[in-house]
C-alpha cells in the first residue's frame, strides 16, 4: 500500500499544470444514481430488469458507502458492491464508481474526532451528517487515501466501470480547524514572503493591526480586514482544488485509459475554483436542480451548462438532476408536468451535456432525503416518471449519436469573478443583500436576458480572460481586479471589442484595496469618464424614458455612481432634483470598439434593450432573436459536422414559429423540414432539427 502523505501533501500544495486530453464519448449517457444498499428489500434483479426495459444505460454507485466498504478500521468488504457492478455489466449498463470520502464511517469519527469541522467563532460539526470533515486534516487524508487505493486496487480492471467520480459536491465552507489555519498561514507566508509586504498590502496599520511576527498572525474568527478575508476565501477555494487534484492523481495511478475521472460540482459556482479543481479531471460534471411545473424556465440548466462547458472548454456531464420532486422536507413538492422530464434532458444536451443522470433511481424510505424522490416512488413500481424516462431513453437510442459532443462557437461571453463575488460579500451595497448576490442578482440578470433572447453565451474568467475570442463581453461588477486584467479589457475595447460593464468595476485592486486614483482607475480612458461620488437609494426613474420601456419599467435602483463625462456620451440621466446632472449610463467609443457602462442597477427591461442594442452594434445577431422565451433555441455542431437546432416550448400552450435555416431533418419525428416551414411545438415539448450539409 502506498501511503506517502508527505509527498501527496506536496502535490496538494503545488497542484498540477498539465492539460489532459479531452474524454471521448460516442453516445449519450442516460442514467441514475443507484443505491442498492438503501433498499428495504432485495430487488437488484428487478431494478436491472426495469432499467433495461426503460433503456437506461448508466448508473453511478458507491459515493456514500465508506462505512460499508470498510465497516471497521482496516477491514474491507467489497463483495456486496461486486454483485451490483457485475450484474449491471452483465445487463449492459455502464457504471461510474464514486470515491466515498464525503461521508465518513462512525468508527473514524469515534477514534479521531479531530477530523470533524471546527467553525469560526467556536462552532463545531458533529457526527450524523455528511460533508462534516476538514478536508486538509492529515488523519482524514490518511484514511481517505487508504480507502481510495483499496477500491481502485479492487475495481480498476472491472470492464463495467467507465469512470470515477472523486468525492461529492466538495466545499470547504466554514472550516476553521487548526490544521486549516496552519495551512492558511503557510500559504500567506509563501505568497507575501515578508511581514513588511503583508502589512503594506493589507493596510494593517489601520486600527493598529500590523503584525511583527508570524506568531501574531490571527485566526479568521474576528478579522475584519478585507485583504485578509479575500485571501482566506482564495485559500478555501484552493483547499478544494488541492483536495480534488490529490484524489484525481491517486485514481489516475490505477485507472485504465478508457476510463475517465470527474466530479459533481454544484451550481453555486462562487464557492469553488472549478478551473483549478477540474484541471486533473478528464471531464467536468455538475449537479443541477431547479423548480418545475409553471416555475420551470430552463434557465438554471442553461446557466449551469454555459458555465461548466466554459470551464474546460468542452462538453460536460450532468451528474445529478431532478427526477420527480426535490427538497429535504415536503414544503416544495412539485412533480413535473407531462413532458418536462423529457424536455429537461434535451435542454441539457442542447447546452453541451454528454450525460444526464437522475438523482436517483428509487425514492428513499428513511433519512434526510425521503422527499427528494427518484424515478420510482416509495412503492418502487413503474409510474408516470418511469414512462417518460423510458420514452426519452428509447429516443436517445435512435438519435443519440447525432446529439453527442455538441460544439458551440458563441460570440458573447460573461466575465465571472470569484474574487469580486467575495469582496462584495464583505462590503454589500444593498439593504436587501442576500448571500451570493453577485451570482444570483448581477451575473444572473445578464445571463437570464441573454437566454430569454436566445443569444448563445459562454463564461470567461480572470484567470484566463480570452476576450479576443468574443465580439461582445459582458462584465458584471468587477469590484476586484488587477491592473493587468483591466488593461486587457481596455486593450480589447481599443482593438475593436464591445463591452457592457457594470458599476463598481475597477474600484479595488487584486487585494481588495481601493485604488487611490480617480475611479474607475485604469479603465478611465476606455470608459471615457471618472467619478468621485456614489449613493445608495431605493428606486429612481431615468429622465425621459431613453430606452422606451414605459414608465413602470424605466427604473434603476440600489446604487448610483455620479459619472463625470470626458470622452463618453450619456445614454441616460437620473431623474433627480439634485443629482440629475449626472449620467447613469454611458457609451464610449474607444479605438475601434465601444464600452457601455452602467453606473446603477437597471431594470430587466432596460438591461434587455442595452443588450439587444449591443448585439446589433457588435454584429452578432441571428434569426434566433426573432424568438423569445417561452420559445427557446440552442444550437451547435455535431460529430457529423452538421448544425443542430434545438427548440423548446416552456409553456402549457401549443406554440408555432417559422423555421429560418437551411433544409434539415426533424430528428424526433424523422421528417424533412424546409426553410420558412411552420414548426409546431407541443406544451413542454422539444424539436431537434439537423441541418443538411
Q: What amino acid positions are annotated as catalytic residues?
A: 169, 320
The torsion defined by the Cα of 446, 448, 451 and 452, in degrees rounded to 10, comes to: -120
Whether residue 477 contacts residue 503, with contact meaning beta carbons closer than 8 Å, is answered with yes
For strand 664-666 and strand 686-691, is the pairing parallel, antiparallel, or unpaired? antiparallel
Cell output for 28:
449519450
Give the DSSP H/E element, type plus range, for residue 539: strand 529-541
Question: Who contacts 327 (Cβ-Cβ below 8 Å, separation ≥6)?
Answer: 333, 371, 372
What is the Cα–Cα distance from 425 to 447, expressed in whole angstroms? Answer: 21
Grid cell digits, residue 254: 490505477
C-alpha cell at 348: 441539457
Q: CA 266, CA 193: separation in Å to the nearest integer? A: 34
Strand 655-658 and strand 555-565: the pairing is unpaired
- Residues shown for the chain: 693
The helix-helix angle for 444-452 and 299-311 (nearest 10°) equals 110
Closest by Cα among 418, 410, 414 to 447: 414
Residue 226 grid coordinates = 478585507
CA 301 to chain centre: 10
Backbone angles phi, psi at 206, to 5 degrees: -60, 130
Q: Dump strand ranges (E) for 212-324.
A: 260-262, 264-266, 284-288, 316-321
Give binding residues as ranges: 130, 168, 328
* DSSP assignment letter at 122: G
Give the separation between CA 529 and CA 583, rounded to whole angstroms: 10
CA torsion sign, 205 to 211 to 212 to 216?
A: positive
Dihedral sign for Cα atoms in the order 310, 315, 320, 324: positive
Grid coordinates representing 46 are 428487478
- Calpha distance 489→92 (Å, rounded): 51
Residue positions forming the annotated binding site for substrate: 130, 168, 328
Three cell numbers, residue 554: 424605466
Q: DSSP letter at 36?
A: G
Q: State the Rg of the chain over Cα.
A: 26
Q: What nine digits make up the cell of 495?
A: 482593438
Q: Which residues pair with 664 in a beta bridge?
A: 673, 691
Q: How buried is 255 (Cβ within 10 angstroms: 0-12 exposed, 13-18 middle, 19+ buried)?
A: buried
Q: At what angle do helices 44-54 and 79-90 cross, to 10 degrees?
A: 30
Amino acid at each position: 500500500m502506498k501511503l506517502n502523505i508527505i509527498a501527496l501533501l506536496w502535490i496538494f500544495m503545488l497542484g498540477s499544470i498539465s492539460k489532459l486530453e479531452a474524454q471521448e464519448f460516442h453516445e449519450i449517457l442516460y442514467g441514475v444514481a443507484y443505491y442498492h444498499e438503501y433498499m428495504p428489500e432485495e430487488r437488484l434483479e428487478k431494478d436491472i430488469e426495469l432499467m433495461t426495459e426503460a433503456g437506461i444505460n448508466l448508473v453511478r454507485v458507491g459515493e456514500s458507502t465508506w462505512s460499508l466498504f470498510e465497516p471497521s478500521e482496516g477491514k474491507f468488504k467489497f463483495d456486496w458492491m461486486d454483485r451490483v457492478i457485475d450484474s449491471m455489466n452483465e445487463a449492459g449498463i455502464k457504471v461510474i464508481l464514486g470515491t466515498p470520502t464525503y461521508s465518513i464511517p462512525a468508527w473514524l469519527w469515534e477514534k479521531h474526532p479531530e477530523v470533524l469541522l471546527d467553525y469560526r467563532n467556536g462552532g463545531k460539526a458533529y457526527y450524523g451528517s455528511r460533508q462534516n470533515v476538514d478536508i486538509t486534516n492529515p488523519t482524514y487524508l490518511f484514511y481517505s487515501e487508504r480507502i481510495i487505493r483499496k477500491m481502485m486496487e479492487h475495481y480498476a480492471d472491472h470492464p463495467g466501470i467507465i469512470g470515477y467520480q472523486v468525492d461529492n459536491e466538495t466545499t470547504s465552507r466554514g472550516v476553521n480547524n487548526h490544521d486549516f489555519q496552519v495551512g492558511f498561514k503557510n500559504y500567506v507566508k509563501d505568497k507575501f514572503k515578508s511581514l513588511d509586504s503583508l502589512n503594506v498590502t493589507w493596510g494593517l496599520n489601520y486600527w493598529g493591526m500590523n503584525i511583527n511576527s508570524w506568531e501574531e498572525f490571527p485566526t479568521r474568527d474576528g478579522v475584519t480586514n478585507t485583504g485578509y478575508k479575500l485571501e482566506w476565501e482564495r485559500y478555501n477555494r484552493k483547499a478544494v482544488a488541492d483536495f480534488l487534484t490529490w484524489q484525481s492523481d491517486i485514481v489516475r495511478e490505477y485507472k485504465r485509459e478508457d476510463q475517465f475521472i470527474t466530479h459533481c460540482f454544484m451550481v453555486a459556482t462562487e464557492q469553488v475554483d472549478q478551473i483549478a479543481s477540474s484541471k486533473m479531471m478528464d471531464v467536468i460534471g455538475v449537479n443541477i436542480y431547479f423548480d418545475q411545473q409553471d416555475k420551470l424556465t430552463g434557465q438554471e440548466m442553461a446557466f449551469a451548462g454555459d458555465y461548466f462547458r466554459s470551464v474546460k472548454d468542452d462538453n460536460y456531464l450532468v451528474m445529478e438532476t431532478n427526477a420527480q420532486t426535490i427538497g429535504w422536507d415536503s414544503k416544495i413538492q412539485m412533480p413535473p408536468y407531462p413532458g418536462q422530464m423529457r424536455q429537461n434532458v434535451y435542454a441539457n444536451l442542447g447546452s453541451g451535456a454528454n450525460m444526464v443522470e437522475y438523482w436517483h433511481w428509487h425514492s428513499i424510505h428513511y433519512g434526510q432525503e425521503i422527499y427528494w424522490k427518484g424515478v420510482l416512488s416509495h412503492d418502487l413500481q413503474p409510474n408516470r416518471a418511469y414512462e417518460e424516462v423510458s420514452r426519452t431513453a428509447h429516443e436517445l437510442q435512435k438519435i443519440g449519436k447525432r446529439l453527442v459532443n455538441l460544439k458551440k462557437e458563441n460570440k458573447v461571453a460573461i466575465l465571472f469573478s470569484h474574487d469580486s463575488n467575495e469582496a462584495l460579500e464583505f462590503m454589500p451595497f444593498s439593504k436587501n443583500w442576500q448571500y451570493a448576490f453577485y451570482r444570483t442578482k448581477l451575473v444572473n440578470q445578464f445571463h437570464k436576458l441573454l437566454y430569454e433572447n436566445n443569444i448563445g453565451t459562454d463564461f470567461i474568467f480572470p484567470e484566463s480572460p480570452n476576450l479576443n475570442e468574443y465580439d461582445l463581453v459582458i462584465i458584471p461588477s468587477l469590484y476586484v481586479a488587477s491592473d493587468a486584467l483591466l488593461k486587457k479589457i481596455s486593450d480589447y475595447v481599443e482593438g475593436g471589442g464591445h463591452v457592457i460593464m457594470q458599476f463598481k468595476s475597477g474600484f479595488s485592486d487584486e487585494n481588495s484595496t481601493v485604488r487611490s486614483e480617480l475611479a474607475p482607475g485604469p479603465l478611465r480612458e476606455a470608459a471615457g469618464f471618472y467619478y468621485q461620488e456614489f449613493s445608495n437609494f431605493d428606486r429612481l426613474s431615468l429622465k425621459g424614458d431613453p430606452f422606451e420601456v414605459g414608465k413602470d419599467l424605466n427604473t434603476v435602483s440600489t446604487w448610483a455612481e455620479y459619472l463625470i463625462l470626458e470622452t463618453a456620451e450619456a445614454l441616460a440621466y437620473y431623474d433627480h432634483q439634485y443629482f440629475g446632472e449626472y449620467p447613469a449610463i454611458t457609451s464610449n467609443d474607444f479605438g475601434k470598439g465601444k464600452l457601455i457602462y452602467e453606473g446603477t442597477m437597471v431594470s430587466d427591461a432596460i438591461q434587455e434593450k442595452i443588450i439587444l442594442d449591443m448585439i446589433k452594434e457588435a454584429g452578432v445577431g441571428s434569426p434566433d432573436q426573432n424568438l423569445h422565451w417561452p420559445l427557446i433555441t440552442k444550437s451547435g455542431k455535431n460529430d457529423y459536422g452538421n448544425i443542430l437546432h434545438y427548440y423548446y416550448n416552456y409553456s402549457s400552450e401549443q406554440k408555432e414559429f417559422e423555421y429560418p435555416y437551411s433544409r434539415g431533418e426533424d430528428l424526433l419525428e424523422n421528417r424533412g423540414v424546409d426553410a420558412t416551414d411552420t414548426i409546431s411545438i407541443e406544451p413542454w415539448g422539444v424539436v431537434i432539427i439537423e441541418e443538411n450539409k
